[in-house]
């Protein structure tokens, strides 16, 4: 048994987990337990989740973000006084 910070919990994302023998893991935060084979999320093909129109809209949005029209930065309003 050893404490590791390599494999985040798939339930809550906490990095501090306990590794038991035989590849079992236990999260100290949410108490979730999982097998070593479960720790990597399964990849999903994005084309199965969205319709063709939604995929086109997503591509347009991504291009707008890359061009700088949208940003995660918070911009404070200009206050005149």
Q: pLDDT digit string (tens) for 1-59? A: 778 777 788 888 888 888 887 778 888 888 888 887 765 555 667 777 788 899 899 89
pLDDT band at 60; cut points 50, 70, 90: very high
For residue 68, pLDDT beyond 80: yes
Q: Helical H runs in 1-81?
A: 52-67
Residue 14 has what pLDDT? 84
Tokens at 30, concatenated = 């949410």
Query: Could you give the CA distance from residue 62 to residue 67 in angstroms, rounded to a whole number?
Result: 9
pTM more than 0.75: no
């Amino acid at each position: 048994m050893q404490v590791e910070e390599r494999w985040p919990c798939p339930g809550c994302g906490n990095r501090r987990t306990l590794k038991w023998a035989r590849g079992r893991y236990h999260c100290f935060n949410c108490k979730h337990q999982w097998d070593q084979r479960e720790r990597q999320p399964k990849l999903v093909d994005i084309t199965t989740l969205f319709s063709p129109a939604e995929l086109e809209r997503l591509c347009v949005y991504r291009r707008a973000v890359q061009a700088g029209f949208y940003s995660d930065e918070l911009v404070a309003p200009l206050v005149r006084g």
